[in-house]
Structure formats: C-alpha cells, structure tokens
A and B are shown apart, each in its own frame.
Chain A
Amino acid sequence: MSQLVCHGITKSYGDKEVLHGIDLTLESGKIYGLIGRNGAGKTTLLSILSNQNPATAGAVTLDQEPVWENRKALDRLCFSRELNISSESGLGNYRVKDYLRAAATYYTHWDRDLEKNLMTTFGVDAKKRLNKLSKGMLSMVTIIVALASKAEFTLLDEPVAGLDVVAREQFYRLLLQEYTQTGRTFVISTHIIEEAADLLEEVIILDQGRVIRKENTQELVGRAFQVTGLAEQVEAAIGNLETHHKESLGRSESAMVFLQKGQSIPEGYEITVQPVNLQKVFVALCGGETQI
C-alpha cells in the first residue's frame, strides 16, 4: 500500500502562520474529503502535498521519498486547482484545448480518450478561451484534468464550485466510476458537504490550520448525536461525554455529543437524542459556541 504523508507541515505567508505542524497520512485506494471553513488552509495544504507550494517547515513524502522536486514522485501526483484566469496570470488567453494539451504533456499517464469523453459529457467547447468560460465551465476543466491525469494520488480543490446540480451529480458518478475501475486515491475539498458525505470513505476536518479530525465518515457521523431537552436534564445526561456546540433557548438546551467506544447516553433523563449528518458535525466542531 502506498502512502502520501505530511510530516509536521508548517506554512507561513509573511509573518502569518496558516498551517500549524500538520501530520497526516493518506493511504492509497481511498476517497478522502477535506473540509474546512474559508481560510482554514485547505488549498495551501493541497498545494504543499503536491509540490506546488514549498512548506515553511516539515516535509511531504510518498512511500518514504520526499516529494519536493522529485519527478518520480510527482509522476504519481496530480493537484487540479482552481484556474486563475486573472489578466496577470496570462492563462485566460489559452484555449481549452491548448490548456489540456499542456496538461497532457505534464502528466505522464494522461488518458486522451478519457479527456475526449469527459469533454463530451460536460459539453465543454475546446476552442473557447479560458477567460470566456463561466465558473462552472472552469470547474469542469479542472475535473477533466484531474480525472484524465490518471495520477495515483489526485487532489481536487473544490471541484464542484460553481457547478449546477446536474453537473455535480455527473461529477460524483464519474468519480466513483473512475475510483471503482482503478482504485486511485482522491482527496476532494468541498463546501457542499452533505452531497459528498456518502462518497467519502474518510473525512479530514481542517480548522484554522490544524487537522482536528481524520476519521471514517460513517463512524464519525455514527457516534455523534444531538441531545436536547430541559437544560438541567441535558447537562446531567451529557456531563461525562465529549460535548460540542451547546445552544440554549429559554429553558431548553441542545448539544452535540461524541460517544467513544463503549460509551452510551445514560438512561433516566427527559431528553431527546437525534442522529446528525456530517454537515451538522462539521458546524458543531468548527462553528464555535452560540447563545441564542
């Protein structure tokens, strides 16, 4: 099994540290979700993982070999990031087909047939200049690059941003098709958490430059519960449990609890216990406390 590993990755822009010593192991053959609020450091982390951005401290290795400026390791990695078509980058004047030709040259295992199929599926006009494409169309181009790269470890930064719901569904299906056929590893950052939740074998939650959770998605969601009731009852029931995101309204209180193995919510209290979804878990972990 191959492993892409972050060893104590720290990144600063000027005197602002945006990633604080990240240790992370990504195993081959999984679909990972990377979720975090705006500015949490998702794009920075993905760009460091793929050698597109130097870390201030720490290292990234692929099967124990450093990734930094290592062509052999880079041949196995693809980071398809959001296209910057601002006038300074000069990229905007490229036609889609020229951009894809450049990508085909860069990625050793490029699959031209898959590229053509995806162009048809998404209905992207190869002759259009990148700066004439809508946000959604640009996302489609980044998806095409990611999938056609055939890279063993493929990182996608918000691939569904700007896509309509039909195109998003198309992407999820294409991703699963590629994944079930090849077993490639995908790391996908997204803000549309609930849509992607069922696709993700593991979820990595990044909060203010730190990985605060990395866990099997179903297991993480399965041990989280929303507890509501009269404040005193709730407090008594959840006293010994890991609790997040307490909210109170009048006499009632609600909180999210995470049960550890073997733990359960104690019987004998007038409380309501509800299962939650990944989005709620995320908000509870990264949204802070609220008093209404």
Chain B
Amino acid sequence: MVNYVSNEQRKTGEEMQEFLTEQKSIYLQICEMIETDILRGILLEEERVPSTNELARLYTINPATAAKGINLLVDQGILYKKRGIGMFVATGAADKIRTRRKEVFQKTKLFQFLQEAKSLGITKEELVSMISRWEEQQ
C-alpha cells in the first residue's frame, strides 16, 4: 500500500486525494484558518473577510498565495466577491464547511484511525468500549 504522509489534497488525475500530516501548502492553511474562523464565529456570514494584502502582511506570505487560498474558498461557495468592496462570507458557509469537514473526517481520518486499530488487532467491541470509556472521562 502506498502510504501518503500528508494532510494535503493533491490532484491525482481527476480526483482529489487527501493526505495526512502537518505539512500543507500555505494556501490550504489560509483556507483552513478562514474556515475555522467562520466555524468559531470569528467571521460572521455576510461579513467582509480580510483582503489578500491584509492576509499577506498578517502571515508574511506572498499576496498571490493568499489570493490562491481565497479563490479556492470562492470556488467552494464559502466566500463571494462584491465588486470593488471585497470578499464576504456567504450565507450558509458554516454549514457547508461543517458538511465537507465531516466528509473528510469519515473518508480519511476515520479510515486511518481504523487502519491503525486493525493493524494493532483492536476489535470493533474494544473500540466501542474505548470510546464509551473516553466519553465517561470527559
């Protein structure tokens, strides 16, 4: 099995593939930071998000890279452009992000987690009881 150590989405042919590690392209990190800010209510729907130049100065990155991140969010319908004013958070953006992140969780993080459990010989019953025990401790 090819073991991809990264979190990054990479194009292999037509389909996107999720990678799993800390190292991500800077524009994907920008996307994620904005998404997380939307989920946490730091950025509200129909509110203006920082411009690419503001993001560039804040994170000391090239504005072209910041723009790439912003554009990806525009393509996904999370941000939209108001001509001459700037980028805004779309209505329903938080739901969209949550839905997509759930999908990613199921397809990649959960998959990796179950692979690891399998390789350690952990049974489904053991896993369920681990989760219950973890919940009790919380």
Which residues of A are at the interface with B, using a C-beta cutoff of 8 A? 30-31, 169, 172-173, 176-177, 179-180, 198-201, 217-218, 221-222, 237, 262, 264-275, 277
Q: Could you list 14 A-B pairs, sorted by A, with CB under 8 Å?
A: A180-B56, A199-B60, A200-B62, A218-B26, A237-B2, A266-B2, A270-B1, A271-B2, A273-B2, A274-B5, A275-B6, A275-B8, A275-B21, A275-B23
List of B residues within 8 angstroms of A199 by Cβ = 60-62
- Tell me the count of chain B residues lying within 8 A, CB to CB, of chain A: 28
Q: Which B45-81 residues sit within 8 Å CB-CB of chain A?
A: 53, 56-57, 59-65, 68
Please, which residue of chain A has its CB at the minimum distance from the CB of B53? A180
Question: In the complex, A265→B25 CA distance in Å?
Answer: 19
B26 contacts A277, C-beta separation under 8 Å:
no
List of A residues within 8 angstroms of B23 by Cβ = 274-275, 277
B2 contacts A274, C-beta separation under 8 Å:
no
A273 contacts B5, C-beta separation under 8 Å:
yes
A264 contacts B13, C-beta separation under 8 Å:
yes
Q: For the complex of A and B, list the 8 residue pairs with the smallest distance between their C-beta atoms, beginning with the closest.
A: A180-B53, A264-B12, A198-B61, A274-B5, A172-B60, A275-B6, A272-B3, A201-B62
Question: In the complex, A198→B26 CA distance in Å?
Answer: 7
A265 contacts B65, C-beta separation under 8 Å:
no
Q: Is residue B27 within 8 Å, beta carbon to beta carbon, of the partner chain?
A: yes
Question: In the complex, A237→B2 CA distance in Å?
Answer: 10
* CB contact between B68 and one of A172, A218, A268, A273 (< 8 Å): that residue: A218
List of B residues within 8 angstroms of A180 by Cβ = 53, 56-57, 63
CB distance from B8 to the nearest CB of A (A): 6
Q: Which B1-53 residues sit within 8 Å CB-CB of chain A?
A: 1-6, 8, 10, 12-13, 19, 21, 23-27, 53
* CB contact between A177 and one of B3, B8, B57 (< 8 Å): that residue: B57
List of A residues within 8 angstroms of B3 by Cβ = 271-273
CB distance from B38 to the nearest CB of A (A): 23
CB distance from B32 to the nearest CB of A (A): 15
CB distance from A269 to the nearest CB of B (A): 6
Chain A interface, >50% SS class? mixed
A222 contacts B60, C-beta separation under 8 Å:
no
Question: In the complex, A236→B64 CA distance in Å?
Answer: 37
B65 contacts A218, C-beta separation under 8 Å:
yes
List of B residues within 8 angstroms of A177 by Cβ = 57
Question: In the complex, A277→B68 CA distance in Å?
Answer: 18
Question: In the complex, A104→B69 CA distance in Å?
Answer: 39
Interface-central residue, A180, A201, A237, by most chain B CB under 10 Å = A180
CB distance from A187 to the nearest CB of B (A): 14
